Every structure is written in C-alpha cells, then in structure tokens.
Amino acid sequence: MFSARIKLPAHLSQSDINVFADMLGDTEHAFTGLRADNHDKSPWTLEWITENKPAAEDMSARVCLLAELNEIDLTIAANDWQIEKLPEIDWLAHSYQQFPPFSVGPFFIYGSHYEGAVPPEQMGLQIDAATAFGSGEHGTTKGCLQAMLELKHQGICPWQILDMGTGSGILAIAAWKLWKTPVLAVDNDEEAVRVTERHREANKVPAGAGDLTSAHGDGFASTITQEKKPYELVIANILAGPLKDMAADLKDVVDENGYVILSGILNEQAEDVLSAYQAQGLTLRKTYKIGEWTTLVLHNPAA
C-alpha cells in the first residue's frame, strides 16, 4: 500500500475537494480531504491510499485536469507530492482499533465491527467511520448529542426536526431515537446521503415522511426543506463560516418557540457565530465546550 498526500490552499471549498475524491477510480482504496484542525480557514491535506505506487507526475496531471474542468483555481507540480510506502499492517483492523465503542449519555456508539451487545440500559448507534463526516467521537458531534439529551430532559418534544449538513446521519438518527418524530436529514454531498441511508438501515430506523427522510439538496433553499418547514428543532453541525452565512435562511425555517443547535465552531469563533444569530432574533440558551469546540443552543422566541 502507498500513500499520496498533497496540501491544497484554504480558499478551496468542500465541494471543490469532493471533485478529487474518486479521481483514481478502482486503483484507489481510500481518500480523505481534511482541513488542519477542522478550521474553516486552514489549508487542506488530501490523501489517497493505493495498492501500487502512483507517479507524482500522473497525480498532478489528474488533479490539474479536474481543476480545469470544474473551474477550480489551482496549480500544482510533481514536487508538491509526498508519496510513501505504508507499513505492512491490516489497515481494516487498524481502522477498527481507532474506533472502539464509547458512550455519550444513554447513547452507546459503535461500529459494525463491534461483536458485543449494546448495554440494556443504553440506546445503540451503529456508525462506521466513513467518507462522510461524523462517527461520534469528535467534540462537535458530542456537543450536539449532549445538547439534544438536555433538551429532551427539559421536556422539549419537537414535532419535526431538521438536520442540516447531516454528514454520516448520526445526529438525525440520534434525534429520531430520542423523540420518534419526523426527521429530515439534508446534505449537499450525495455521498453523505448514501452514508446516512446506510446508517439508517443499520440502526433499523424507518424511512419516510413520518420517520427519517434523507435528501440531497442545496441547503435551506432545497425544495424538500422548504416544503416541510417550519421545524421545532434545527441541528447544524457544519463550520463557523457557513453557519454565519446561513443565519437568515435558518431563521426562516425554525418555528416560533423552536430550538437550534449549532456546532462545528472553534471556541474563538463562538461569539461571531452567536452574534449572527442574535441579529436574527434568536437567544442563547446554553453553551457546551468540549476541548477546542463549542456547541450553541439557541431559542427562537415567539413574536
């Protein structure tokens, strides 16, 4: 196995990065594209895992061609690549070892490789580390789960929930298990929708308008999001920049007296994100800080 890594500039969007995900076709075992520290202003590191050693010149040519076809401002050279042979280990087993079962409150989160039983007093969430973000161990996901649990403890029972930017679907599935109410999971990445559907089936969550619906769409402007509004709970675990940009659109779909959970926010970004939503009339109910990440719980008061 070989690893081919390259750093790309911060101005590229997640959609730009997705263009390169399958560029090696069947010769590609895995692909990751991550920003440093998940910071929305940080540069990207892209990595492909391949069976045979790729040529740097070929990798550059493929990236540059895809960038040109998709009108992405990008120039790279062969010497920009870091290509190395990986140790001879069982990478599947290694991946599983990095994701042992763990708990967040009553949720017991585990991968499909786990052969034990879900503790009888807990709710199981089977989520595999995959191409879509969100296997549960990250501080942003934990913050959202804790926020949902506290809302439930407070007796808040949303009759319709929106999970915007659903990623792996973990938050949408957790919301359905908590409240057994209609949940709409939306993402602008088709791969995220496929992963969400796979996790919905693995967790035996019913599909359909009265249960969990996953959909590919352009955020709050998507037809299905608009058709089903308003929502008594909106969850958006994305990044600080997009969260600020979508404040008015989110406000438009949340019901009076509804709640909003925002995450994907570095601690130093929290005040800026909060200000954007306070400008829309939402009020802060609670802040969760887990490591360097902040989760905000907001309320949309009745007029």
CATH number at residue 272: 3.40.50.150
Provide the CATH number for the domain around residue 25.
3.30.70
* 5 — pLDDT class (breaks 50, 70, 90): very high
End of a domain among 32, 57, 88? 88
End of a domain among 66, 88, 110? 88
Structural domain includes residue 93: no
- Could you tell me which residue, 33 or 236, shows the higher pLDDT? 236
Q: What residue has token string 């509004």? A: 229
Is the same domain home to 201 and 67?
no
Q: Out of 14-23, 182-191, 274-283, which region has the weakest mean confidence (pLDDT)?
A: 14-23
Is the same domain home to 200 and 250?
yes
Task: State the helix-helix crossing angle for 139-153 and 170-179, rounded to 10 degrees.
Answer: 10
Structural domain includes residue 25: yes
Give me the domain span that covers residue 28: 2-88
**Rounded CA gap, 256 and 261, in Å?**
15
Is the same domain home to 202 and 268?
yes
**Rounded CA gap, 113 and 89, in Å?**
17
Is the same domain home to 80 and 138?
no
CA–chain centroid gap for 284, Å, is 23
Is the same domain home to 258 and 141?
yes
**Rounded CA gap, 77 and 62, in Å?**
11
* 121 — pLDDT class (breaks 50, 70, 90): confident
Q: Judge if pTM exceeds 0.85.
A: no
Structural domain includes residue 222: yes
Structural domain includes residue 122: no
Per the structure, how many domains does the chain have? Answer: 2
Structural domain includes residue 212: yes
Is the same domain home to 65 and 139?
no
Give tens-digit pLDDT for 169-218.
999 999 999 999 999 999 988 888 988 999 999 899 999 888 999 999 99
Beta carbons of 10 and 48 less than 8 angstroms apart: no
Q: Return the pLDDT at 154.
A: 95
Is the same domain home to 63 and 158?
no
Structural domain includes residue 160: yes
Is the same domain home to 278 and 150?
yes
